Amino acid sequence: MTEHLPNLLPCPKCGSRPEVERCAPWPRGMSPIPWYVGCYRGGEDEHFVGVNGETQREAMLEWNREVERASSTTTEG
């Protein structure tokens, strides 16, 4: 049975939907090409938030964990 991909939380810095893609180019024979989920914005409010995972699902789950960590840090402090 195929697992559904999780819904992504918005970027904790700007609220945009993050990009989801393979990390390419990737050295041949090094390992399977990992996945990347992240948000980069330039300009006055420049920021980058990103994570990697061995599978698309793993990277997306890690993104959501990272956003939740960032949210709890800003609400605690």
For the chain, the structural domain boundaries read 19-76
On the question of pLDDT at 77 being above 70, the answer is no
Quick one: pLDDT at residue 33?
A: 84
Q: Shortest CA distance to 5 belongs to which of 35, 49, 48, 40?
A: 35
Q: Shortest CA distance to 60 belongs to which of 32, 1, 18?
A: 18
What is the C-alpha separation between 45 and 34, in angstroms, rounded? 28
Pull the structure tokens for residue 62: 């890690």
Quick one: pLDDT at residue 64?
A: 98
Q: Dump pLDDT digits (tens) for 22-73.
A: 988 777 787 788 999 999 999 998 999 999 999 999 999 999 999 999 888 7
Quick one: pLDDT at residue 76?
A: 60
